Amino acid sequence: MNIIRLSKQKIFNQKNEVFAYELLFKDGYDKETGLIDSVKGTSQLIMSSITSPELDRLLGRNSLGFVNIDESTITKGILDVLDKDRFVLNIHENIKLDDNIINKIIQYKKRGFMLSLERFDSSAQMLHKFRRLFNFIDIIKMDIALSLPENLEKVVKKFKGTRIRLLAQNIETNEDYKRCQELGFHWFQGYYLDRPEVIEIVGPKEAAQFVILQLIKIIKEDNTANEQLELFLKKQADLSFKLIQFFNNSEKLNIKVESLTQVINLMGRQKLLRWLLVYLYSELSRNPASKTLLELAIKRAERMEAEASPRNKEKAYLAGMFSLLGSIFETNIKELMHHIHMDSDITSLVLEKKGIFAGSLMRAEQAEKEYLRKIMLANFDKLYTSDLVNTLECGGIEIDKNKI
């Protein structure tokens, strides 16, 4: 079960009503890391949590969530799976700005995200650093503890009457609160008003392999619009992140994708299907040999595709990939196949080794067995008896105990 620990702190409006929460994720050592550091090691867990059905419990139905971002977060594409109507992208004060990062920030603004600046210290250096972004920033979180009083007043006057709204951050005392109210801040945050609450969120309970198999089923349905496909992908944020990451790292495409819609349109459904099958083998299998099985499955699929008639090549490839899925999951392959209702030619091959691809599969298996037999004989003295017994027993081969 996926569990993420985080703290959330309330942000209040001028009527002392909750406007939003700032979210800080906690790592295994109970250190506040923020979304920035979490992306490096636990993005899958975090994104699964903050896009889960527990979102309303986390933020309430009408409140927003501020999440910290830096240049690493932006370039990884992880933000594409966030709901623009629920999250504010809070730009870290130490972000390293260049033309590429600034352009990406502007792109997120154009997509409808609200943007804020974190821990703005009201200095001339800060004003200079973010000068190119002020036309796109919605909220400046001004740190009243770091800001000199005279600088704070100057910055408040500078942005008064503009589209930018000001949030007073780090309010520690009643005096701080009254002063910020008098200066005309729109929102308020700090220990005087609310101390962060540490909570735990449970990630998705549905088995990951069934989620992806359900997605495969959606892709195979010709009447499903790409918008429905995108909506389903966004609900599986860890998968969306991996897919976008794959695209961004792909030399063949030589293009930087900016959204799930682009991914789906550029890749096409058949290539997306192939990638999902690779993801099933390489990311979700607990089998220690899953990497080798993936390579075996791809070669088997390519062999079967080459032997198939032009109209059946795509089905032959998918049949080859599906034929080894049962080897890497604890779930029975029949249950997997019935869950997604694949093409009858593929299903009959995977479950019964029958149908138009049966001959091709048997030839592929024979070639594989001949190679593996050579390896086993050449390395027989290195094999453990217990491993051999397990392999034979699992394969339904009876062992005469009297001859051992």
Q: Both 313 and 381 in a single domain?
A: no
Q: Both 319 and 180 in a single domain?
A: no
DSSP letters for 202-256: E---S-HHHHHHHHHHHHH-TT--HHHHHHHHHHSHHHHHHHHHHHHT-TTT---
Q: Both 162 and 218 in a single domain?
A: no
Enumerate residues 6+ apart whose C-beta is below 8 A from 10: 18, 20, 21, 189, 193, 194
DSSP H or E run through 344: helix 344-352
**Which residue in this structure is represented by tokens 């409006």?**
13
Q: How far apart are the C-alpha atoms of 281 and 33, rounded to whole Å?
A: 31
Write down the pLDDT at residue 200: 74
CATH of the domain at 56: 3.20.20.450
Q: Both 228 and 271 in a single domain?
A: yes
Q: Both 189 and 323 in a single domain?
A: no
Q: Both 144 and 22 in a single domain?
A: yes
How many structural domains is the chain composed of? Answer: 3
Angle, CA 177 vertex, CA 175 and CA 178 arms, to 5°: 65
How many CB atoms sit inside 10 A of residue 17's CB?
10
Q: Both 274 and 290 in a single domain?
A: yes
The list of the chain residues with pLDDT below 50 reads 1, 28-49, 51-52, 204-207, 251
Choose among 83, 153, 69: nearest CA to 117. 69
Do the beta carbons of residue 294 and residue 278 sit within 8 Å? yes
Q: Give pLDDT tens digits for 55-104.
A: 667 787 788 999 888 887 787 656 665 678 888 999 999 999 999 899 98
Q: How far apart are the C-alpha atoms of 262 and 230, rounded to whole Å?
A: 10
Enumerate residues 6+ apart whose C-beta is below 8 A from 251: none
Q: Both 62 and 159 in a single domain?
A: yes
Q: How far apart are the C-alpha atoms of 282 and 285, rounded to whole Å?
A: 6
Q: Both 217 and 113 in a single domain?
A: no
Choose among 179, 219, 177: nearest CA to 341. 219
Q: Both 168 and 259 in a single domain?
A: no
DSSP H or E run through 274: helix 260-283
Residue-range definition of the domain harbouring residue 12: 3-202
Angle, CA 38 vertex, CA 37 and CA 42 arms, to 5°: 145
Helix (H, G, I), strand (E, B) or coil at 242: helix
Backbone angles phi, psi at 243, to 5 degrees: -65, -45
Q: How far apart are the C-alpha atoms of 70 and 289, rounded to whole Å?
A: 37
Q: Both 25 and 173 in a single domain?
A: yes
Q: Both 9 and 139 in a single domain?
A: yes
Helices and strands per DSSP (H, E), number in the chain: 17, 9
Write down the pLDDT at residue 21: 94
Q: With left for phi above 0 and alpha for psi between -120 and 50, is residue 353 left, alpha or beta?
A: left
Q: State whether the Cα torsion 246-250-252-256 is positive or negative.
A: positive
Q: How far apart are the C-alpha atoms of 77 and 285, rounded to whole Å?
A: 24
Residue where a domain stops, chosen among 182, 202, 222: 202
Q: With left for phi above 0 and alpha for psi between -120 and 50, is residue 47 left, alpha or beta?
A: alpha
Residue where a domain stops, chosen among 181, 202, 223: 202
Backbone angles phi, psi at 51, to 5 degrees: -115, 15
Residue where a domain stops, chosen among 202, 233, 258: 202
